[in-house]
Chains A and B, each alone.
Chain A
Amino acid sequence: MLEQLNKLPRLPTLAAFRSLSPLARREMQHGMLFISIWIFGFFAFTFVPMVATLFFSFLNLKITDGILSTPDYAGIENYMRLVKDPLVWSTGATPGSFWVTVRFGLLALPVGIIVPLILALLMNSPHLKGQMLFRTLFYMPYIVPFVAAIYLWGGMLNPETGWINRTLMYFGMAKESVPLWANDESWVYPAYVLMGIWGVGNAMLIMLAGLQGVPTELYDAAKSDGANGWQTFWNVSFPMISPVIFYNVVLSIVGLFQYFQVPLVVNQGTGRPGGHTFFYNLYLYKTFFTYQDMSYGSTQAWFLFLIVLLVTLVLFSTAKYWVHYSGEAR
């Protein structure tokens, strides 16, 4: 899916349209007619709202008691506020929501790539009996609606009655030293990561399909060269599935920058404990829905968009160094 984006097709020239034969013109009319459904939706629900958000960010628009204030031009005031906002950037001991997001991402991203990769390698092992059953069961939790999964894991991670702490205590951990998970500043991210681990099924399946697509000749060649297991993985499997890993890295990073539904439900969006779950998007959500500040919310949204765009572009520019596309693009 991503290779499509790697080589951005050029915009067609006017000459290309002029030189169309009547038959080709008819084909174009038909094709455009079918696509127009999406084009209309794209303008109505994506393009125009995006431009409107940008426009709002340069105004001063608030809703007070359900009445929209008369807009006045604010220049870059909102952006200046964002740059200095202590709720976005850390000051002293209080973590800013941007850094909360980044810090959580630094923990969640590697887990979200390595765990499904390990599972996929296990599922791909010729020694595994009942591969289909394992694959289905490891995938299954992905289907569980996320709100239900949160309550399930919330129960599992309950400091007193949850099975995780019961297991820790069973293996001799003192009752006073077991983690408090969602109520503890240093354990809340691992708790969220555990809740998220149920979503790895998708990435696992994609990576597994990638691994199964590796031609066996390559493995045979590595074997005859005397490569051990790790060397085979690093020099054969990994390059061959690097497009799939790249796809997952990009989607995970984009998703992590928008992470906020879990803290919204688990810690009721309060940012407890100690502001450590006050994610950037949670702040954005509150700016608009709680404080009804449309302009500042729009500013935050555009800033988020620019950050995501920048990170994605950087990722794509690194792709040529480590992502291996074999064969011709379709």
Chain B
Amino acid sequence: MNRRTIRNLKLGLNATYITGLSLALLIFYLAPFGFMVFTSLKTSGQISALGSPIWPAKSASFDYNGASTEIYKVPVANCAGFDANDTAIKNLAAVKKGRQQTTFVDPANLEAGEFICKVSWRALDRPWVWAAAWENYTEVWKAINFPRLMWNTTYYAIMTEIGVLFSCTLVAFGFSRFRFPGRDFLFTILISTIFLPGFVTLIPTYTFFQKIGWVGTWLPLIVPSFFANAYDVFLLRQYFMTLPRELDEAAMMDGAGPLRILWSVIIPQAYPALVAITVFHIVFAWNDYFGPLIYLSTNRQAWPISVALPIFNGIYGSQPQLIQAGALMAIVLPLCLFFVAQRFFIHGIVVTGVEK
């Protein structure tokens, strides 16, 4: 082998190691998704059966002469017509059950006909076959009133989305396109609010909202979103700063006012950043638990899915298959959104994290 081949071989080995290691980590990392899907498709019978497989399954049965018979794992040494030293275990359908002996038929070899084995069917194990209990999903759908929860969560996401897009665009425009004394100072204050523990403002805010009768309505969640937040303003401002000023200036020469420039020059160019904060915000709203918990828990008609899921879990705690089905239904929409918009997503994260 010449040196080049050795080098290529080494590179190939490295690629195998690194990719293999990443793949192994990924499998461990994503295993809970498999757990969720498998568990959500199990029957309650399988959940309580000891030694049942980890995949959704039911005990095997066989249609024999128009009747459903149960299949058992039978050591054939005890059966008529088999060698007494035969150690094989066969899956046989029990036609006539008895305490001392049971009549079986071999589903794989029906011509052999019925035969008797000297075993008690109660002592035998049954084989499992793949069977998915799709009805778990319909049960959860009805039990938690899924369409209502989806609607509530979507409503919350859309209303706050409007607030965020409206306010953060205007504020980011103000911070990126106008120079005046004190601007950087104000921007620093804006950024530092990210580090502020939420509880230090919560008690008076909550008490105030309670006084004016807003607790139990959407308003305490929606109204503050119309006054901008640090993350989204930062992201938009960074993006606006990268846009060339020549177009602004040209528009200004033509007599356009600031709002006009924002609407017809800045916004059309900034759509990747706007899409990024839109999807971020939808994920945030889907994830938000604490806000809806404190403001909406008295109003069951308004519960979003994050608040309803723990309550559902409290009631159905003994039925893990339903819990997992509920969890799966809660994550389908955000995951779909992520796969559709992942390009914007990833770019947005990089901007907030890496840029100074």
Contact = CB atoms under 8 A, between A and B. Distances in A.
Interface stretch (B57-65, B88-96, B104-112, B194-202): B194-202
Interface stretch (B28-36, B66-74, B118-126, B270-278): B28-36
A305 interface: yes
Given A27-B180, A37-B170, A209-B353, A144 B331 contact: yes
Interface stretch (A84-92, A134-142, A182-190, A230-238): A134-142
Nearest to A146: B287
A78 to B, nearest CB: 13
Contacts of A247: 353
Nearest to B279: A143
| CB-based closest 9 A-B pairs | A41-B227, A34-B174, A31-B178, A206-B353, A12-B181, A28-B180, A3-B356, A52-B204, A49-B201
A166 B188 contact: no
Contact of B324 (A5, A119, A155): A155
B104 to A, nearest CB: 32
Contact of B19 (A37, A127, A325): A127
Given A4-B356, A134-B26, A145 B178 contact: no
B154 interface: no
Interface of A: 1-5, 8-13, 16-17, 20, 24, 27-28, 30-35, 37-42, 44-46, 48-50, 52-53, 56, 119, 122-123, 125, 127-130, 134-141, 143-149, 151-153, 155-156, 158, 161-163, 166, 197-198, 202-203, 205-206, 209-210, 213, 243-244, 247-248, 250-251, 254, 257-258, 261, 265, 281, 284-285, 288-289, 294, 297-298, 300-302, 304-305, 308, 312, 325, 329-330
B18 A127 contact: yes
A248 B25 CA distance: 22
B310 interface: yes
Contact of A44 (B31, B227, B335, B346): B227
B350 interface: yes
A56 B189 CA distance: 24
A31 B179 contact: yes
A148 to B, nearest CB: 4
Contact of B227 (A32, A40, A146, A153): A40
B344 interface: no
Interface stretch (B9-17, B75-83, B130-138, B139-147): B9-17
A247 B349 CA distance: 13
B330 A148 contact: yes
B335 A140 contact: yes
A244 to B, nearest CB: 6
Contacts of B18: 122, 125, 127-128
Nearest to B31: A163
B175 interface: yes
B320 A155 contact: yes
Contacts of A10: 185
B239 interface: no
Given A213-B354, A325-B356, A145 B287 contact: yes
B354 A305 contact: no
B342 to A, nearest CB: 6
A195 to B, nearest CB: 10
12 contacts: A1-B234, A1-B352, A2-B356, A11-B185, A31-B177, A49-B200, A50-B201, A258-B199, A284-B199, A288-B206, A301-B202, A305-B200
Interface of B: 11, 14-15, 17-19, 21-22, 25-26, 29-33, 35-36, 39, 47, 54, 167, 170-171, 173-175, 177-208, 224, 226-228, 233-234, 241, 258, 283, 286-287, 289-290, 294, 305-306, 309-310, 313, 320, 323-324, 326-328, 330-331, 334-335, 337-338, 342, 346, 349-350, 352-356
A171 to B, nearest CB: 14
A116 B29 CA distance: 12
A9 B187 CA distance: 9
B188 A152 contact: no
A305 B306 contact: no
Contacts of A139: 342, 346
Contacts of A30: 174, 178, 258
B189 to A, nearest CB: 7
B30 A141 contact: yes
A261 B289 contact: yes
A304 B199 contact: yes
Contacts of A304: 197, 199-200
B320 A158 contact: yes
Contacts of A284: 199
Contacts of B177: 31
A15 to B, nearest CB: 9
A297 B203 contact: yes
Given A12-B185, A35-B186, A250-B195, A134 B22 contact: yes
Contacts of A244: 353-354
A11 B179 CA distance: 15
A247 B194 CA distance: 12
A4 B193 CA distance: 13
Contacts of B33: 152
Given A1-B355, A151-B327, A301 B199 contact: yes
B26 A38 contact: no
B179 A38 contact: no
Given A27-B179, A34-B175, A312-B195, 8 more contacts: A141-B32, A144-B335, A206-B349, A206-B354, A209-B350, A288-B203, A294-B207, A298-B203
B140 to A, nearest CB: 12
A211 to B, nearest CB: 10
A136 B170 contact: no
Nearest to B178: A31
Please indicate which of the listed interface residues B35, B183, B185 has the most CB atoms of chain A within 10 Å of its own CB. B35
B356 A145 contact: no
B203 A301 contact: yes
B352 to A, nearest CB: 6
B72 to A, nearest CB: 25
Given A37-B228, A45-B205, A143 B283 contact: yes
A50 B196 CA distance: 10
A56 B203 contact: yes
